[in-house]
Structure 1
């Protein structure tokens, strides 16, 4: 009997996600978004400004709640968790990288990487070895004792990436991580994220306006009219 190759199992799923804002009237941002993730894949999300890309990332990372819909992690509905459980999910399951690094200027690179673990109650001695390993992986271990203001833009984003990985997350959410960098530096940071996603089996969702980078990812999705659409038609966004 011939072997039938099975599709990789997904472990993370956004199902029928809606998001509506009613501050000034009613604004529907997301309308029935569905997304499944498998370990080690990279998914690009592109689309015009204001279409809800960042809102989608915030919902995937449980920084915001949908008006309707469900988010499943290994079969559990994330939004049925209590506040403490949600905080644990954000701290341990998901890593975030933003367009701006959000590093704390009063701390050096190593201290910034350690912060999520210290906040979670882990001891510094338990974290330092892995933090230094991550700084080496992203190419800035030699800058570990430097304050944020002493680092270049590319170095700051590399430190932010190491910080996002310190809790060994399964999902990496990146919101325009190369947007504030020059093209050459941005490409290096993207390729670093790409390499880490593969070698660390991360499911990575990256919002980007850079279509060249978007087309290098495993899947490229366009957020349009509140929904996610997959296309490889180069006359369109992806």
Structure 2
């Protein structure tokens, strides 16, 4: 683990509360949850299935709004933005990597990688140059023109990682990015995400059930009863 004590605060969540359903069917997922993320740190979120880890990532990524609470980015209350402004912020400032890559199968690795930039209105020629360099960096320089169906599972996740960081986001959110891969490939994908965190200074939050990977990050937190608590090196609540 690295010393992050001198880093500045990047994202801060205060009092996040989220529930689903109504009446007797109401399920409380997050309850008055707090989280501070320092610029460039890598944080693991662990916990049993169904505790709300993906819900938390969706709120941090502004894909969903909390019932209560605030999310600030460099002192701005993000959820005070309207939906259009929030979508622009999400495209510019947040990268996502999921367990299932959500790539477009009819497009090449290169074409998939540039999609966030196209949405932002950037020039295709410049995007192709940047995407080519990113794909080379993730070990796919020889697969630029291959369609997604021609790539292995690990290669597909590498494309997803390149797509997630093409806009140079402030925050990278990874939801079980190794969960659908064999252990050896999963380890390689994790190391790639960690390399991107180091090389680009990406503040990174990764949900994982793999405690061996979690304990290689700067911090390991467990979601328990709607709140985040520190986890020990075995992935158990301290």
Supply the distance in 1 between the matched residues of 2:39 and 2:5 (Cα, whole angstroms): 15
Moved more, 200-209 or 122-131: 122-131
Q: Does 2:153 match 1:153?
A: yes
Residue 232 of structure 1: how far off its partner (Å): 2.1
> 1:141-187: CA deviations, max 9, x gaps?
21010000000000000000000001110100000000011000000
Q: Does 2:15 match 1:16?
A: yes
Q: In 1, are the aligned partners of 2:42 and 2:203 still within 8 Å (CA)?
A: yes
Supply the distance in 2 between the matched residues of 1:193 and 1:206 (Cα, whole angstroms): 9
Q: In 2, are the aligned partners of 1:57 and 1:173 still within 8 Å (CA)?
A: yes
Moved more, 225-234 or 210-219: 225-234
Moved over 6 A (4+): none
> 1:25-76: CA deviations, max 9, x gaps?
2111001111111222110000000000000000000000001000001111
Counterpart position of 2:133? 133
Residue 15 of structure 1: how far off its partner (Å): 1.0
- Measured on the aligned residues, the alpha-carbon RMSD in Å equals 1.5
Supply the distance in 2 between the matched residues of 1:121 and 1:27 (Cα, whole angstroms): 40
Residue 237 of structure 1: how far off its partner (Å): 5.5
Q: In 2, are the aligned partners of 1:59 and 1:66 still within 8 Å (CA)?
A: yes
Supply the distance in 1 between the matched residues of 2:235 and 2:87 (Cα, whole angstroms): 41
> 1:95-135: CA deviations, max 9, x gaps?
00000000001100000001111011111012111111110
Q: In 1, are the aligned partners of 2:229 and 2:237 still within 8 Å (CA)?
A: no
Aligned length: 234
Structure 1 unaligned runs (5+)? none
Counterpart position of 1:208? 208
TM-score w.r.t. structure 2 length?
Answer: 0.95
Structure 2 unaligned runs (5+)? none
Moved more, 145-154 or 38-47: 38-47
Counterpart position of 1:169? 169
Residues 144/237 of structure 1: CA separation in 2 closer, same or farther (3 Å cut): farther
Q: Does 2:122 match 1:107?
A: no
For 1:11, what is the secondary structure of its paired residue? Answer: strand
